[in-house]
Amino acid sequence: MASQFGLLLRQWRQRAGLSQEALAQRAAVGIRTVRGLETGERTDPRMGTVRSLADALELTGAERAELFAAAGRDEPVVLEPVRFDPLAEAVETLKVAVEARWRREEEQGQIHDPVPLPVRWDAAPETLRDSWLNIGGEAALAGRLDQIVEVYRKVGSRRLVVLGRAGAGKTVLTTRFVLDLLGARDARDPVPVIFSLGSWHPERVGLRDWMAEQLTRDHPFLGAPGPSGGTLAAALVDAQRVLPVLDGFDEIAAGLHRPALNALNTTTLPLLLTSRVDEYRDAVEGTDVLTSAAAVMLADLTCDDLADYLPRTTRKDVWTLVLDEVRGGGVLAKVLTTPLMVALARRIYSDTPDHDPAELLRFHDAEEIERHLLGSFVPAVYGVEAERVQPWLGYLADHLTRLGTHDLAWWRFGTSSKVTGLSVGIAVGMADLVLEAAVLGMFTARGVSFAVMIGLVTGVLFGVAHRYVVRAAPLEPVRTRLRLRGRLGKRVWSRALLGLAFCGAVGGTYGLVQGISFWLAWPGWKMNTGVLADVVVFSLVFGLGGALVFGLVAAMETPLDVRSAGSPGDLLDANRRHVFGLAAVVVPAFALFVVAATQVGVVVLVALRFEVVWTPVSALALGLVGGVGGGLAYGLSLTAWGQWVLFARVWLPLTGRLPWRLPAFLDDAYRRGVLRRAGAVYQFRHARLQDHFARLP
């Protein structure tokens, strides 16, 4: 008698229009097996047999489960293989990094000490927003700081412009927006990231490419290759896994606001944009509103806001006279209407002993009060050290103003090719003199003259190279580390060709100087043929050695891993390690190659009947000088870390414009609230502070 399994098998086989032979062939089982199961002669089929029959009959869902149950088996759940999604992992890592960064910044800015200032806003004039049809439905946009995410989500297009005058609280709002959005974020939502628009040049680079560059700068691990070529940062931007919070539209260079607004209108990215009112209005009048974007306008603080906030910032009863003046509508009522000015007043008078805010009553002009608050900020936070640090802050502000940016990047403290060439010449000349003396065991007149000449020539060569490299593109920090294994590719070969050309030119010049130094030391030496031989041999030796080490380094470079944070100090440390790692690879490899290649050259020259004065010891000296000298020259002139050492740690402190312990000074200014961190760069706490210090003598 057929079993329940046999009856089901026959029923579904006949429904499929298959004979027993056809089913057996399709399931790759024996015909006797199929016949025995249907007739009941076989009642205990194996798990694999049942699965094969179910697959052959194309059973799914309940029918498949019924067949397995009839066989007295439960089909094991087949787990789909977990596919690694590099974008999903990058998104989660980026979320953690962004949240930690801006929570620290909010704490550093005393936003919640004792309570946040009541930042509020209303809908902006209709002329500054798109039509509600394009936005995606009319919505009430008025709100306060803790409602920013709620208001943003009312905007159907998810494109919102936040307008306000200087110091109105736009930066405070963007920070709170990011943190609140991350707190309520679904796993499928993009990560909100704040981008300071001041460094964007819309006529040179598109918005998406610029965003990818900024992400890589602040989060080096996003420089790793993405799933479809390019970088992880570019892939996140293209896949809209990043929500751009574009802070400071007004800080874009003068003349570029209209092109910037046009560029923003070519994208459909959801975004939040902040700007001062006048700059945004001018751009709108010259082009059009931001497509599909709603707009809100930050409101001034009221007298009640001040009365609720300022007395809570100190246990001293010192704000009564000031609040009475504000209630009376005096000049102070025009100044203490923005979070910036209120925060400055709080820092100067509530947080500092022996400062009475009643002194504000002696001023009768709003601009004069603002200058007083800005000028009193550093003395309040530094005390007796203010006179010493103020010129340094003034230099930093002037430096940023000349660069046209608000980003204080450690790799952009100097670009003078003259200073670079002079420093390279001195460093290489001294290295040559010391190394030759150490290897040969003595100082000689020829050695001194050769050190002077090679220092001069190398300084000129690398000074010129620095000038043209920096003119083409400013030096940027590396975002790679060196690993023991690498693979050959176009990048390796292109680097090798670059090393061959540049080091060959340096080697030819080196050979010329070497020949001249021999001629000066031994007047009987064959000047013409000897110099020619030196130029040819050194061009080949240095060129091939340069190709070797350039290609080797390219093969060993890999993006910084996820643990490499993007703070200024972390990125600086990573670059220092990279340069020292580079030297540890380049110097020995180049020196050994030069020693071996020089000995081959000696054999060839002797066979050609040239007079040769090189020995294995002099070849060793040559290799060390070439490796160490070349490493010093390259590191000081063509790496961001080398330029930092040269200018920020030596030249600018030597000329009195910055302190000798610059990293400690910047970190101290950050802890005191004068500077803030924005990823891998510092910024003044507010653009008004930078403008104030830039005007100081």
C-beta neighbour count of 543 within 10 angstroms: 20
* Dihedral in degrees, nearest 10, Cα atoms 496, 500, 502, 507: 140
Q: Please report the pLDDT score of residue 82 as a whole number.
A: 47
Helix, strand or coil for residue 553?
A: helix
Q: Please report the pLDDT score of residue 61 as a whole number.
A: 73
Q: Residue 238: which of 212, 274, 204, 261 has the closest Cα?
A: 212
Q: Please report the pLDDT score of residue 117 as a whole number.
A: 83
Q: How far is CA 326 from CA 119, 331, 335, 373, 453, in A?
A: 18, 8, 9, 16, 72
Q: Please report the pLDDT score of residue 669 as a whole number.
A: 92
pLDDT along the chain (697 residues), means of 10: 74 80 80 79 77 81 78 59 70 89 83 82 93 88 90 92 91 92 83 92 92 88 81 91 94 90 92 94 92 94 89 86 86 89 88 84 89 90 90 93 87 85 86 74 66 79 79 72 55 68 71 65 56 70 73 63 58 81 78 73 62 64 74 80 90 92 92 85 88 85
Helix, strand or coil for residue 338?
A: coil
All structural domains of the chain, each given as residue ranges with its CATH number in brackets, are 4-70 (1.10.260.40), 89-298 (3.40.50), 303-364 (no CATH), 388-413+658-697 (1.10.10), 417-653 (no CATH)
Instruction: Give, as one character, the DSSP assignment of residue 125.
Output: P
In order, the DSSP letters of 233-252 are HHHHHHTT-EEEEEE-GGGS
Q: Please report the pLDDT score of residue 69 as a whole number.
A: 79
Evaluate the omega torsion of the peptide bond into residue 45 and state whether it is cis, within 30 degrees of 0: no
* Pairwise CA distance, residues 193 & 175, whole Å: 10
Q: Residues with Cβ < 8 Å from 103, sequence gap 6 or more?
A: 179
* Pairwise CA distance, residues 341 & 336, whole Å: 6
